[in-house]
Amino acid sequence: MLLKDKVAVITGAASVRGLGFATAKLYAEQGARVVIIDLDAEASRAAAASLGEEHLGLAANVSNELQVNAAIEQVLGKYGRIDILVNNAGITQPIKLMEIKRENYDAVLDVSLRGTLLMSQAVIPTMRAQKSGSIVCISSVSAQRGGGIFGGPHYSAAKAGVLGLAKAMARELGPDNVRVNCITPGLIQTDITAGKLSDEMKTSILAGIPLNRLGDAQDIARAALFLGSDLSSYSTGITLDVNGGMLIH
């Protein structure tokens, strides 16, 4: 098993059809003890329990420093270490440029970008002390191509910020043997997209995807397994595209 005896924290992973839960399930299958952190305590506990009794579900708003630090203290109190952090929590809003208000901007940037920073800051001291660790940040193809299907410009900005932050963290944390990498998913079939794609939209989108299919959560989970495990032991600061060829560069 690729993650035997590893402790992995995954944010935004309580939704059973989401990228985070798919990653949590695959990590557990590969031997990790998984901590799911999401807004809803009951949903987090239920999601973790579905993986097995050795896993943990906690509630925290990733944009709230006090809640983040309290959650990580609980993780360390139970397991004594953290080997992998997957910064998956994020929200999107399908609104146009001129419709973006301060509250829209703050909401999206706080979760995706500030949340990535706060969660990373919370686990870094432990990873540094261990002289090992992997931080996986979920960005988006919309950060690379200037917009997606469902996210507004502020979503693209937040996810582009994640790319820059991750690269800077990778450079700073490299001497501590802490790796930081990003995944940029294309259009993935999750609860966010469910019921929102008409047949006409799907046909149009597939015309621009060489692999001729939409992605699913397992596609992202497998990439996160690669980056979280020692299979990627000499990779840091990279952006791993998982988009079926939607963007080739």
Output the six-digit token pair for 173: 């944390």
Closest alpha carbon to 136 in 91, 75, 185, 92: 185
Output the six-digit token pair for 75: 């993780």
Write down the catalytic residue from 27, 79, 155, 234: 155
Is residue 155 among the annotated active site residues? yes
Closest alpha carbon to 205 in 157, 248, 154, 148: 148
What positions carry a catalytic annotation? Answer: 155
